[in-house]
Structures are given as C-alpha cells and as structure tokens.
Structure 1
C-alpha cells in the first residue's frame, strides 16, 4: 500500500472513531442541557449544582474538540500536509476524550448521588473512573508499548 492510500485509510479510521465519540458526547450533552429545566433540578444542593456545571463544561469541551478537526479540514482544503493535520486532529481527539472521561465520571456521580446518596455516588464514580482509565487509556497505551517492543525485536532479528 502506498503512502497516500495509507494516509487516506488513516483519515477514514479517524472519522469512524470520531463518529462513535461524537454521538456519545452529543447525547450526553443533550441530556445535560435538558436537566436544569426538569422540575426537580432546583431542589438539588449547591454542591451538586457545581458538579453539574463541571460535567456540562467538560461535555461541551469534548464536543468542541471532537468537531474541531472536521471544521479545520473544511477550512484548509485541500490538505497540503496530511501528516501534520492527522497529528493535530489526534491531539484534539485525545484531549476531547479526556474531557468526555471527566464528564462521564462526574455525570455518574451526579446521578447516583441524587438517587442513592453521596457515598455511593462517589464509589460508583470511582469505579467508572477506574474503568474509563483502564479501557480508554492504560490498555491502548500498553498495547502500543507491546506492539512497539515486538516490532523493535522483530527488526533486530532481521538485522
């Protein structure tokens, strides 16, 4: 496969990944936008309102970062440096994923705290944070590290 085809394939994979992340962030943000207009929202304690604010801001930040590569791609067409664009878009997507991670954890805390109390809310939020950290960050990092070291070992054997 030549470099241009590989680059196009990379961009297609990035777009597919963004579709998944963007849909989740949009739905979560839509839920958060509606929440203050529900009847019971005015009755939540001030600390939960601060958690809501942080959750909402992280969720909106993730939406901005997930949509930024599409807007930027449209603005700089035709792409003259695909590699640089992919690197920039990847950084934005990863920061957006970090923001979405925070929003999900805080949102879980908010919901569980309201339904079952603050102690269980913190426990569940901690478990969700651990799950997100392991599945979204640690596992891919360790797979990348394993693949990199096996590629290096394979290259050493060929020499």
Structure 2
C-alpha cells in the first residue's frame, strides 16, 4: 500500500507543479490585456491572446480538479483508479498548455522582432513542448543491465 500512496502523492505533486507554470502564463496573459500596448496589437493578435487565455484557463481548471476530487469523491483514500485519473487529466491538460504557450510566445516575439521570428518561436515552443510531454513517452526505453 505504501507504493500506491507514494504514486498518488507523486501524481498530485506533479499536478501542482504544472499548475504553477500554468498560473504564471495565466497571469501574464491577463496582464497583457490590461497593458496599453494590447490595443496597439492587430485584431488577429488580440484574438490570439484571448484564445491563449481561454486555453490556459481550461488547463488551470483541469489541473486543479484532481486535488478536490481526491478529498471530496475519494475521501482522501488512495487507489489505482484515482492515480490513473490524475495522470489522464495531466495528459489531457498538456495539449492546450503547449498550444497556449506557443500562441503566447508567437504574440510576444512578433511584437518585439517581427512575424517570421514569432512564427518560428511559437511553433518551436509548441513542438518542443509536445515532444517533451508526449513524444518521449512513445520512445522505447533501454533498460541498463544491473549485472555488476
């Protein structure tokens, strides 16, 4: 049972870590809307800011969900179903997180140095995040020989 408790705690801790990153991006996007330069952005960029804000709001909602679910529905009890629920929620939340991150980077880099660099930065950030969060899981693992 200790292994299950540890897995559940690790899953909840990973979710909390992701929430911190999502909250930083959420705060930056909310602040963007109230900056004077926001109204100087082209309409499509303002629309993209709102899209990124909507995506990251969904991410925060998804990542917050496991903790109260664990307390309210599961009564604080650990089981394999809950641990897999937390992991599924995190896997679902990472896609809109990557998209919001890429859109945000596109907007900020485009404003600073131009559209081409914005596209490269936004697409690069999105692809990198998706590869690190999803792609590495698909790669085969190589077990080290423990015969010493």
Q: 1:146 aligns with which of 130, 141, 148?
A: 141
5+ unaligned residues in a row in structure 1: which ranges?
Answer: 151-159
Structure with bigger RCO (C-alpha 8 Å, 6+ apart): 2
Q: Which has the larger radius of gyration?
A: 1
2:90 to 83, 88, 93: 93
| Displacement after TM superposition at 1:35 (Å) | 1.1
The structure where helix makes up a greater share of residues is 1
Count of matched residue pairs: 143
Q: In the alignment, is residue 131 of structure 1 matched against residue 134 of structure 2? A: no
Aligned to 2:37: 40
* Cα distance, 1:124 vs structure 2: 1.1
Structure 2 vs 1, CA of residues 57 and 67 (structure 1 numbering), >3 Å: closer, same or farther? same
Deviation at residue 117 of structure 1 after TM alignment? 1.5
Pairwise CA distance, 1:137:
1.3
CA distance in 1, matches of 2:75, 2:133: 32
User: Deviation at 1:139?
Assistant: 1.3
Q: Which moved more, 1:75-84 or 1:85-94?
A: 75-84
TM-score (norm: length of structure 1): 0.83
- Structure 1 runs (4+) greater than 2 angstroms displaced: 77-81
Structure 1: how far apart are the matches of 2:61 and 2:2? 29
- Normalised TM-score (structure 2): 0.88
